A = this chain, B = another copy of it.
Amino acid sequence: MFYVIGLGLSDEKDITVKGLEVVRRSERVYLESYTSILMVEKEKLEAFYERPVITATRELVELEADEILKDADKVDVAFLVVGDPLGATTHTDLLLRAEFQNIPTSVIHNASILTALGSTGLQMYSFGQTLSLPFYTESWKPDSWYPKLEENLKLGVHTLVLLDIKVREQSEENMARGRLIYEPPKFMNPAQAFSQILHTESVRHPAAKPQDSTQERKELPYPTSEREDTTNSYDTLLPPSQTLAISLSRIGTPTQKLISGTIEELAQLSEADFGEPLHSVVIVGKRLHPLELEYGGKFAIGGEKGGWWKVGQQVYGVQRETF
């Protein structure tokens, strides 16, 4: 039997009892290592599983799938995936290949970021499409994720933003010279994520500025500082000072940390404020429920006086409930 087994989110003990029984009796055990990582070393997994673990790189899975599936019609082979096994189509592809070869398959599910994001207190029913935010470089800032975010914001639903990770990447120079030297793994921090989101926002919706600075400006009925805070001066669904977000760091681990606030507040934090990987980010939709506001307030920048409560009540229009 070819088993695809979810490992959950944190360490070696997040595997299910059923999954562990299969791993301990498997002839070969692979660990998929390029779509996510576990917060524990391979040696610790091997000690707990009492089996050697073969690291499955992207090259191995995509080019030598038959090696992984070999003899799985006669012996048990376990393919371990961090989170739930069927989060990415990579693994459905492997299952399809197995079935074309008449190899029986079985999937053992586990927690993934999609379920664990319940830790934000946001209702899972109120999430729209999930986005993946890629690393921006000097010359490449792909913003194909932006329209999906707009679709979600227009409906008022929440958006889970998965942050890019890079494992076993080669530098351009090493690739050009054919040297199989890999860069250290990189995991996007929410600080970079919010900075990228603000960059794309500023490109897509440059704030309306007077054409000529000497031009006479119409007298405003309120002070400038207040105006920036309470009006949406350009046509966007994502005004940073009026849009709430929550960062999720190391969800499901003992050092789990959530931070809530406006995108503007979150973008001012440093990488160290969020800490070690893995991270993701949620952009909060306008259909925010009082219980969601209350729960998210536990993690608010600036506490009771922070943007979370102010924007949640004044812009999102949520009535605070007595609890």
> Smallest CB–CB gap between A289 and chain B, Å?
8
Q: Is the CB of A111 within 8 A of B114?
A: no
The 8 A CB mask of A144-172 against B (1 = contact, 0 = none) is: 00000001000101000000000000000
Known: A130-B125, A295-B92. A86 touches B116 (CB 8 A): yes
Counting chain A residues whose Cβ lies within 8 A of the other chain, the interface size class is 35 or more
Number of copies of this protein chain within its complex: 2
Report chain B residues within 8 Å CB of A93.
291
Q: Give chain A interface residues in 236-257, CB to chain B under 8 Å.
A: 252
A202 interface residue per 8 A CB criterion:
no
> Smallest CB–CB gap between A95 and chain B, Å?
8
Residue with the greatest number of chain B CB neighbours at <10 A, chosen from A17, A123, A289? A17
> Smallest CB–CB gap between A102 and chain B, Å?
13
Please pick, from B127, B131, B323, the residue contacting A96 in the complex, using a CB distance under 8 A: B323
Q: Is the CB of B121 within 8 A of A92?
A: yes
Report chain B residues within 8 Å CB of A130.
124-125, 127
B-binding segment of A7-15, A59-67, A183-191? A7-15
Taking Cβ atoms with an 8 Å cutoff, the residues of A that contact B are: 6, 8-9, 11-18, 20-21, 83-87, 89, 92-93, 96, 99-100, 107, 109-112, 114-116, 118-119, 121, 123-132, 151, 155, 157, 252, 289, 291-292, 294-295, 298, 323
